[in-house]
Each structure stands twice: as C-alpha cells, then as structure tokens.
Structure 1
Amino acid sequence: MGTGRDAGAERTGRDETVEERADRIWSDLIQEVRVAQTGVQILFGFLLTVVFTPKFADLDDTDRAIYVATVIVGAAATGALIGPVALHRLVAGRRVKPQAVALASRLTFVGLVLLLATMTAALLLVLRVVTHDMRVLWLVGSVVAWYLLCWFVWPLWIRHRHTVRRPPG
C-alpha cells in the first residue's frame, strides 16, 4: 500500500517528505524575496543618488545623520534580502535544503525588519526636508503603524487564528 515513496521518510501534513516540503517552501520564499528585493533595491538606489543632488548640501546635521543611518540600514536590508539567493547558490546540490530554507527564512524576516527601518528613516528624512516641521513624527509614526499592521500584525493574527493545532503524541 505504498505511494511509491520511501516508506521510512518522515511525512508532513501535506503528504510530502521533508525534502519535498523544503522544495515547496523554498519556491514560495524565493517568490516573496523577489518582491521585497525589487523594492529595497529601488529604494537603496534612490538613496545612493541623493547625496549628489544640489539640495543635499543644504541639509542640517540632523538630516545628514538621518540620511547616513538610512543608507546604512538600506544596505543591510539589501544584503539580508539578497542573502537567500547567495545561500541557495552556494549550497545547491549539497542536500541541505531544509537547513537552507530555515536560514533563508530568517534572513528574509531580518531583511523585512531592516526594510521597515529604511522606509521609516527615508520617510522621516523626506518629510523633514519638505516641511521643516518635527510634527512629521506623527505622520511617520502613523505610516509605520500601517506597515506593522500589514506586514506583521495581520499575518500573525491569521497564523494564530487559523493554525491547525495537532493533538499531542
């Protein structure tokens, strides 16, 4: 009564082996990373050009510090979100896909947190330069709250509410 698969292979809830599950999750993860990579690379590229604009010379010390922090965090986000691609390339064919998926997932999460920080700092800088008003912190805080809701709160709520709990044993 076999399915043609290794009877000793560990199974998951989707009737797939650990390796099949890793393949499926890897494909999903790479699709997700492609979306995030595009956004962070466009934002980072834009940030790198700002320093060469005439308006940059007029920035005060606080705005320059925000800019430097934004570029550094943007570079870190770019590294974290490109990391899964390099990881896959370096371990492909080594039979470590489940472990690679776990690390790539962590890198992607870190990349999303760093992207959130980059977008927050960039928004703060732009709004400070445009308005010269520290009340922009309320606007930035509102946008960050929206990001947190969309990126973390709702997904975690769905995960908590709809995760099937398996009985012990």
Structure 2
Amino acid sequence: MSGQRVLVAVASRHGGTAGVAGSVADGLREGLGSGAVVEVRPVTEVDDVTGYDAVVVGSAVYHGHWLEAARDMVLRCAIDLWDRPVWIFSSGPVGARGRPPQELLEADEVLVQTRAREHRVFAGRLDRAGLGAAERAVAGLLFLPEGDRRDPADARAWGRAIAASLTAGQPGR
C-alpha cells in the first residue's frame, strides 16, 4: 500500500485532454494501490504543489503550443516542481496516427521549467460541433481530421509506469 499523493494538473479547452488526464490518473491509482491519493485538477486551480509527492502536468496542444493556462501554472509552481518528480504530457488531434509529431511541439521550455522526467504525446479528439467559428475555420484550413483518436489504455499504461517509477525502492512494493 502506498501513501503517495499525486496531482494530475490539466489544461483542456474542450474536454478531450481532460479525458486523457483521467485515464493517466486511473493508471496511477491502479499502480499505486488503495493508500494513494491521486487528484485530477484544472491547472487554473493549482497555485501550490507542495502537498504532493509527484505531479503530472498535461495540456492540449494548439498549433504546436501548450495552452497558456498550463504554461502559467508551470511558471507559478516551477521552483516547487523541481523538488518532486514531474511528468508532462501533450494531447492534440493532428499529425501521424492522429497525434502531433513530437518534434513539432514546443515542450522544451516546459521540460526545463519542470525538470520533468518524461514528456509523452497522446492523440486527441476533434469534434467540430464543439468548436467556435474561428476554431472551425482553422481546423478546415488545416484539413484536420475529425474524430476521437485518444487511446485510454495507452494513457492508463503510462500512469501505471509512472506509479512503478514512484514505488521503485519502497519497502513492501
């Protein structure tokens, strides 16, 4: 049994990335066991990470960039993030197999600011019906494919891998 406290902080404009965060959190819970506390919170509600043993930060990606709210949270908490293990993830609907290619994302700055152990890229979802007029226009101009390309099992597996990293070396695990 683990008494770990883990925060999964997420920036999601239309809910798709929040779904990925939920799957990562499910994997963390599976891997850490019943004594763990895994919280999923919007980045806009995170001003302090000192009550957590580890943090996962995720953001939707638009035009290769994390959402501003996620970047702001990382800046607010950067020094405290350095004192604990951090993982980051990006989610977006474009690119090969429905996800943005790693090299097209501007995650280097976030990696430095958080000292993250890993950056994972997950496929996203695009539902034009939920977009505003400007977003629909951009999606059309970029020929972005509509649909849900998220893989909850992949996100859960990554959560379990993070849990394994957190519990490595703990007695009784």
TM-score of the two chains, using structure 2 as the length reference: 0.25
TM-score of the superposed pair, with normalisation by structure 1: 0.26
Higher share of residues assigned helix: 1
Larger RCO: 1 or 2 (CA < 8 Å, sep 6+)? 2
The structure with more radius of gyration: 1
